[in-house]
A and B are shown apart, each in its own frame.
Chain A
Amino acid sequence: MSTRHAGHAHKLYLHTHSPVHALPAHCKLAAVFAFVLLVVATPREAVWAFGLYALLLAAVAAAARVPYGHLLKRMLIEVPFVGFAVLMPFVAEGPYTELGGVPGLSGVSLSVSGLWSAWNILAKGTLGVAASVLLASTTELRELLLGLQKLRLPPLLVQIASFMVRYGDVIADEMRRMRVARLSRGFRATGVRQWGVLAKSAGALFIRSYERGERVHLAMVSRGYTGTMPVLDEAAATRAQWGGAAALPLAALAVCLLGWAL
């Protein structure tokens, strides 16, 4: 958290210049959302379709100059669900298949539909995470928030998100200072018996956060705030930019239709 700078860049953001970086955030948001939607709507039996999707994302990553290492590392967020998916064949219903051919594993039976479920979750989840990581890697936080607003997310919600982002670091910082203060006085969190102390910290953190919210509000009304933020930069996306962003979901649409047709 300490190195993430709200409002400017964030942890996943990768500072380079590329055609993908240059696209307006709302175009990218819409494109990624449409893409993921199409992926989810693809039948799981069309295994090759998911391969094509992966290729599409790889092409976007190349165009965005996002190194594959960065992409893969950030996708580790998914690990717990991989675990879930791996368990699926062992607990699912339906006909079981024997792992006869594998030495040492003969006698272990796996559910066929469980295998399909595992594949389904794994493939769609992974593609979804990869698309989100690409979006986050190529879009600054501030752009992302403006993009959400342009996509007709209620302005109040965008304001709340901006404040969360602006003060996330400030509050994480306060939390860190409280932790240092605890450690400096010999506190070691070893088990449930320390929960009382930690909960007190959480309580204090809440009070500080809320009071800061009040002070920020005072500072805002002192400068005439009545509930709406002045919109200063109204740059609409050009047709070309929309076209560029639409390339991904359009290609995905073709794949998805093929997946249903074949």
Chain B
Amino acid sequence: MHVPDGFFDAPVSAAAGVAAAGAVALSLRGARRELSGGGGAAEPSSAVGGERTAPLAGLVAAFIFAVQMLNFPVAAGTSGHLLGGALAAILVGPFTGVLCVSVVLLMQGLLFADGGLTALGVNIVLMGVVTVVVAYGLLRGLLRVLPRSRGSVTAASFVAALVSVPASAIAFTGLYALGGTADVSLGKVFAAMASVHVLIGIGEAVITAATVGAVISVRPDLVHGARELASGPLKLRTVEVATPGGGAAGTAGGPAPAAATAESAAPAAAPAPAAPRSNRRMWLGGLLATVLCAGVVSFYASASPDGLEKVAADNGIDEKARDHDAAGSPLADYGFADIADARLSGGLAGTIGVGVTLAVGSGVFVAVRRRQPEDAPSGADTGGTTAGTARTGT
């Protein structure tokens, strides 16, 4: 979806550039707050060295960059990849999300000539700001309504990502109305962009939700949208220090030091975050159903992006290096399929897409709501221990 130079006229490009600069400046400030909040393995003393923005946002940007190279096969040799705006927003918060996507776009423009330099503002607004704001806003809104559980976060991520992509397409259409250089009717652009992007949105949603689900099951504290952590009071253990060869209690064959350990504070049962196992099965079912639907529906869309990808491959584009935008390219999203198709089917694919999405989405929500009472209390020391192990390994 990287817009090249010359696609929008100068005033729109400049205005978008100003808007993007403003958004990035705002995000720089906001990200500092988001990332200093800790929740990770090591929360630095807030007094000194609380400045974690650069390394963390940098690494998340590198992650977004890398994950755009991770190809998700669709069918018949086509594959798609994550755009990552929604995912970044959900995992690290909206400000850091905008920042990371913007940096990725900047570097793609400078290093790979991917996306025009004068269109950088447009690209940041469309792919960074709009997707992130829409996704995060929806996520927060949904989480307010939904029961507090991991399942809800995953479901809300699904919807957030699903809507964020067509929202970006609509924003594109809006910019196009203001200053598109091509002389194509707004209706056609809108139909093409919206319908294709609903389909892409389904893919984005499934992958985003599954990824968020995977993170939440291991390190729930790392999901910005779901930081509900409890820490119990500290315990102290006292133990005889063994002096090897010196004949302290430990070595004399007395009770082993492990047994000699005494804990001096009542271990308050730490309320563990919920990890509903029964729910998981339901989720898998729901996801599988959605995935299948998406697979079927995407056949509609596959024809042309597929062809483009093949063209790119035939032209000998270095596969490895170009993976991140040749295969299932965000460029391909631009919907040639539908411009070509638009005459025949117009909004047909879009209608199907929206219908399927609504059906699946509401089905999932009904299911979640019904399950609600079971979610709340459930032991999940698995999350804790895994997190602990991961940490001590560092």
Contact = CB atoms under 8 A, between A and B. Distances in A.
A199 B214 contact: yes
A159 B31 CA distance: 14
Contacts of A87: 336, 339-340
B210 A194 contact: no
Instruction: Please classify the interface of chain A as helix (H, G, I), strand (E, B), loop, or mixed, using the class held by over half of its residues.
Output: helix
B66 A11 contact: no
Contact of A168 (B62, B308, B321, B325): B62
Interface in B240-278: none
Contact of B51 (A88, A127, A215, A226): A226
Interface stretch (A102-110, A131-139, A237-245): A131-139
Interface stretch (A14-22, A56-64, A205-213, A247-255): A205-213
B107 A203 contact: no
Contacts of B25: 154
Contacts of B298: 192
Nearest to B67: A202
Contacts of B384: none
A98 to B, nearest CB: 18
Contact of B62 (A76, A141, A163, A191): A163
Interface in A144-184: 144, 154, 156-157, 159-168, 170-172, 175
Interface in B162-185: 181-185
B5 A36 contact: yes
A190 B79 CA distance: 9
B207 interface: yes
Nearest to B317: A76
A19 B111 CA distance: 20
B182 A195 contact: no
Interface of B: 4-7, 9-10, 13, 24-25, 28, 40-42, 44, 48-49, 51-63, 65-67, 69-75, 82, 91-92, 99-100, 102-104, 106-107, 109-114, 116-119, 181-185, 188, 206-207, 210-215, 218-219, 222, 284, 287-288, 291-292, 294-295, 298, 308, 311-312, 315-317, 320-322, 325, 329, 331-332, 334, 336, 339-340, 342-343, 390-391, 394
Contact of A214 (B42, B48, B211, B340): B42
A210 B394 contact: no
Nearest first, the 10 A-B pairs at minimum CB distance are: A163-B58, A124-B6, A203-B214, A128-B5, A199-B210, A213-B59, A227-B51, A132-B113, A221-B49, A125-B4
A257 interface: no
Contact of A84 (B5, B113, B294, B336): B336
Given A128-B117, A199-B207, A201-B70, A117 B182 contact: yes
Contacts of A156: 28, 53-54
A230 interface: no
A206 to B, nearest CB: 6
Contact of B60 (A41, A121, A209): A209
A36 B213 contact: no
Contact of B183 (A11, A113, A144, A171): A113
A160 B5 contact: no
Contacts of B218: 203-204, 207
A206 B60 CA distance: 7
Nearest to B295: A192
8 contacts: A81-B331, A93-B183, A117-B183, A136-B111, A157-B99, A164-B103, A167-B58, A199-B206
Given A163-B55, A191-B73, 4 more contacts: A1-B69, A196-B291, A210-B40, A210-B59
Contact of A79 (B60, B214, B291, B312): B312
Contacts of B44: 217-218, 221
A132 B210 contact: no
B6 A92 contact: no
B106 A161 contact: yes
A195 B41 contact: no
Contacts of A199: 206-207, 210-211, 213-214
Contacts, number: 336
Nearest to B38: A214
A8 to B, nearest CB: 13
Given A128-B117, A163-B54, A207-B218, A192 B49 contact: no
A94 B61 contact: no
Interface string A43-84: 010000000000000000000000000000111111111011
Interface residues of A, number: 102
Nearest to A123: B6
Contacts of B13: 40
A43 B160 CA distance: 41
A216 interface: yes
Contacts of A205: 63, 66-67, 70
B184 A206 contact: no
A119 B184 CA distance: 14
A216 B59 contact: yes
A80 B339 contact: no
B135 to A, nearest CB: 16
Contact of A164 (B61, B184, B222, B390): B61
A124 B334 CA distance: 18
Contact of B322 (A77, A117, A144, A207): A77
Given A93-B184, A154-B25, A160-B99, A124 B210 contact: no
B73 A203 contact: no
A149 to B, nearest CB: 13
A23 interface: no
A249 B125 CA distance: 27
B360 to A, nearest CB: 14
A246 interface: no
A187 to B, nearest CB: 12
Contacts of A27: none
Contacts of B102: 157
A73 B215 CA distance: 39
A120 B339 contact: no
B303 to A, nearest CB: 13
